[in-house]
Amino acid sequence: MQQLYSRQNIIAQRYRILNVLGQGGMGRTYKAEDLKTGQIVAIKSLSLYQISDWKTLDLFKREAQTIAQLNHPAIPKYLAYFQVDTVETRDFYLVQQLAPGKSLAELVEMGWKPKEATVKRLAIEVLKILVYLQQFTPAIIHRDIKPQNIILSKNGEVFLVDFGTVSDTYRHTVTGGSTIVGTFGYMAPEQYRGQAVLSTDLYGLGATLLFLLTGQSPADFPQHQLKIKFRSNVQISPDFADWLERILDPAIAYRFANAKDALSVLQGKQKLRQNIGQLFYQSPQQRIALLKTPHRLILEIKPIGRQRDRFRLLRRLTRIIKPILPLLLWDMIGLLLVNSIAVPSFYGELYKTIRLNNHPDVIFLTTLYNWVLTGCVVFLILGILFLIIYGLIGLFSIASFLIKATSRTWIELTPNRFQIKRWMLGLCY
């Protein structure tokens, strides 16, 4: 077994033990004094005798490597990593700055009951830390956000500690044997499957906030389909309750994608976009859909006109006009040329005949020409009007298609009210 150091014991001829801070599956953590610098530090230790497989040691080393690359005021800084050989075993040590203050779990046990404003402030501070961690490539996922790992100082500073389960798919179990990592009640559902994504830490944060608001473990709340039912147990604003419910959603797709989005909504920089919800009913023609979310029903009504009917009138006109359209266009071009070139020339010759030769058929020819000219002009005007009408119908059909293709109508029903929303060309009213 690993040696249990007591007060005044010295490790590596440098660190004097002051007391034990904690003990878990990844070893013990001591509060110690650095005899060279006089600094109070935290020392996490692991013994070869203590581990059941080499993966535990790999995780311990990975924690040291992860902390060594971090530089954030809310994360205790890495100071040293070393090993000590004895006759019986080999012990490994990770030295960090000691986060001043007490854990949130200790504070609640001492009777602390924070208000909503305080809980929101703590959430914002932790989210800032998570935003920093998620900026790395690959992103760093803590995987064990819980009240015991968040330290609050007397000055209100927040610290995140214990990175022993970070950045690996193989995890030490809370029960001592599988690939699951975390603390029961604070673990996102995907962690039971050995998975972790950016929003996994958000779930742990939400469970921690719920503990602060109620003093109860999230595991003690009633659940429905893995979703924690907490609203009747807390007295908080609806907006904060909606936000908390979002990060506690058991489905990854319904949570915020990352800490940055969750922080932006909590700070009021962007609105909480409602989840579309689960499809509850859809009509055979798929024109009406009924969706449900935990607190509302959404009736989605799609455009009544079917896709194939939107250009029906335009297609019918096209079938009629298509055979004669080339001839119509050719006649119109011919008429324009005749009216612009031939007609003035004809009138000139007619004038000469009347004046010089006194032609007997001049009245008949003039009348005939006027009738022909009138018919050509009427035909030309009708052709132009027809093209204008045809073009307007085409533009109307295209505009109708664009409006219907980009429009949707929602009727949202809640226990207290209903609201009709319609989107058209990206605008909602």
- CB-based contacts of 354: which residues, under 8 Å, 6+ apart? 362
Domains 1-98 and 100-273 share a fold: no
Give the residues across from 40 on adjacent strands. Answer: 33
Determine whether 144 is an active site residue.
Answer: yes
> Can you give the pLDDT at residue 61?
86
Res 404: pLDDT: 64
DSSP state of 11: E
Fold classified for 1-98: Phosphorylase Kinase; domain 1 (3.30.200)
Domain ranges of the chain: 1-98, 100-273, 278-303+407-428, 307-405
With beta carbons less than 8 A apart as the criterion, state whether 245 and 294 touch: yes
pLDDT of residue 350: 57
The H or E element spanning position 121 is helix 116-133
Fold of 100-273: Transferase(Phosphotransferase); domain 1 (1.10.510)
Determine the Cα–Cα distance for residues 101 and 251; give it in Å rounded to an integer. 34
pLDDT tens, residue order, the chain (429 aa): 445 566 678 888 899 999 888 776 667 889 999 999 999 999 998 888 777 777 778 878 888 888 999 999 999 999 999 998 888 888 899 999 999 999 999 999 999 999 999 999 999 999 999 999 999 988 899 989 999 999 999 999 999 998 877 643 333 333 333 445 567 789 899 888 888 889 999 999 999 999 999 999 999 999 888 889 999 889 999 899 999 999 999 988 789 989 999 999 999 888 886 655 555 565 555 567 777 766 677 777 766 544 444 455 556 656 655 565 565 665 566 555 555 555 555 555 655 555 555 555 556 656 666 676 676 677 667 767 777 776 777 677 677 666 666 677 878 887 788 888 776 665 666
Reduce the DSSP state of residue 48 to 3 states and report it. Answer: helix
State the pTM of this model. 0.62
Q: What is the predicted pLDDT for the residue at 89?
A: 83
Instruction: Tell how far CA 321 is from the center of its chain.
Output: 51
Q: Please tell me the predicted confidence (pLDDT) of residue 170.
A: 32
Contact 388, 373 (CB under 8 A): no
- For 44, counting Cβ atoms within 10 Å of its Cβ (0-12 exposed, 13-18 middle, 19+ buried), the class is buried
Interhelix angle 200-214/238-247, nearest 10 degrees: 140
Other C-beta atoms lying within 10 Å of the C-beta of residue 49: 12
Among 91, 144, 162, 261, the active-site one is: 144
CA gap 76, 267 in Å, rounded = 26
User: What is the reported pLDDT for 88?
Assistant: 80
Tell me what pLDDT residue 180 has: 53
Q: At what angle do helices 259-266 and 238-247 cross, to 10 degrees?
A: 170
